[in-house]
Amino acid sequence: MPRSLASSPVSYASTVASEPPMCFPSINT
């Protein structure tokens, strides 16, 4: 995942919306 998601809540929300919940820990890391 691009680190831009960290500073882009909208992109982050769009990504997690298309990814399974189990990906949350991976994105946070």
pLDDT the model gives residue 6: 56
pLDDT the model gives residue 11: 67
CA 24 and chain centroid, separation: 7
What would the DSSP string read from start to end of 1-27?
--THHHH-HHHHHHHHHHS-GGGHHHH
pLDDT the model gives residue 25: 59
**Residue pLDDT, tens place only, 1-29:** 455 555 666 666 776 666 655 555 555 54
pLDDT the model gives residue 8: 66
Boundaries of domain holding 6: 1-29
Count how many domains the chain has.
1
